[in-house]
Structure 1
Amino acid sequence: MVAPRANWKGFIKFGEVSCPVALYTAASSSERIAFNTLNRKTGNRVKREFLDSETGDPVERDDQVKGYEVENGQFIVLEPEEVAAAVPESDKTLKIDAYIPCSQIDTTYFDKPYYLAPDKAGTEAFVLLRDGMKQEKVAAIARTILFRRMRTVLIRPHGKGMIANTLNFDYEVRSSETAFDDMPDLKIEGEMLELAQHIIGTKKGSFDASTFDDRYEAAVAELVKAKIEGRPLPKKKAPVASKPADLLQALRESAGRAAKGAKPKHAAAPTRRAG
């Protein structure tokens, strides 16, 4: 088996201890099914081309440049060497700013995961940091330049090594208040809540990523196979949302409690909280 290629090499520093480390991609989309865009009439691949928005003429790669819009239709041109000069230089060091309790980690800010491993002579210091964090049940917040950009990284013990998640900045994460703003303030009690708890209890398990099925990939693979073999294409029924009036009965059936002729218990209706 070919050894994985490091995406980044540098040092992690805690206190006055520096340890050489390497980052390796932890998640990859290379195995996903990839599509090509075709011309429906000819069946040929479509080639992507950049066109001038005013003249409609093709723009060659050497004539393409980055621009920042300052007003409607007015741009500041940024040459590649200007952008490169403005990016802070990297000293290739993950500087740990703080250690935070694992219970305080907000996964909403997670961006990309990387495996963090010792590079050559740094194993002893690496293991010391890893085991110390395990004992204290903390994660480390560190900063460095990754791929020409300042990044904040969350580092946690993971198996024999550690895992480093790059984090989105606060301005990149949308507020949850906007997403939940239209939700009414309801309180549900009684049998409905008991049934919901029972259904949840019957499905309790443990986290095992090997059991996750990429149903989209499997469905597309089956669709391609069916078209090659000339078989009828699969169809599915659209899901139907449970109506509020049918919710209790749906819960009873889900929990296996529905019984013909049984007198239903009193079910508390959803009530609005006092504002």
Structure 2
Amino acid sequence: MKLLRFGELGAEKPGLVDDDGQIRDLSAHVDDITGTTVTPEALDRLRAIDPTSLPRVDPDTRIGACVGSVGKLIAIGLNYADHAAEANMALPEEPIVFFKATSSICGPNDSIEIPRGSTKTDWEVELGVVIGTRAKYVSETDALSHVAGYCIVNDVSERDFQLHRSGQWVKGKSHDTFAPMGPWLVTADKVADPQNLAMSLSVNGQTMQDGSTRTMHFSVATVISHLSQFMTLHPGDVIATGTPPGVGMGQKPQVYLGEGDSMVLSIEGLGEQLQTCIAALG
């Protein structure tokens, strides 16, 4: 099942994608796609609905972030062996954990704001994991049973803010629009193996990232289990699991985003994002 949210920013409605790729309106059944909607029981109720009984949505309607009211947006750094190599950094012994402000979340095709004073705004295509059941002190064996589904996340990053402005990475990770999410939340039963998904990102038509979740250093199950030792994961929490090589910081010479640049991101089975960069809004 593919769940999504559509409509104007701040007024999104819940929907699903039928077998023909048509968006259907779920508003008569649920208020939104949030933590309460992605529990196993709630997803079973949605699966029981005949999509053809739902109103069609204009295909030109804006698509919002696939999950609303996210409690935690957690990200994992240097989680691909080949990305760590291009960054000239050692692979970590434990997952590197940081947070992105939930106010950075936006729709998959919304414009990306280049922050004021930015010189190094970068891209990162990532597999997003949406939690479906409470996870605290879970084992790696049981970890995937807590997943509601998967989506694409662009972990947009301002590298100078991230690395040279003191403190945690969050400064370079949290500007408005720095976490496009979606277009859909694909439920876990439709993703046979989260560790075998092709992923790519292009900038202005040039492929920059062309990788696979196979090269993750810490698997999705390992990441969930690890995080659950330090914090309780709740339904609707989102984890961005790291990026393959090809980011702007890793290019020789380095390449960064500017106004007018466009990005296309895709992950096998999870859809596609398209974003254009603009100057930061007030």
Q: Which structure's relative contact order is higher, taking Cα pairs within 8 Å and 6+ residues apart?
A: 2
Rg bigger for which structure?
1
TM-score, structure 1 as length reference: 0.18
TM-score, structure 2 as length reference: 0.18
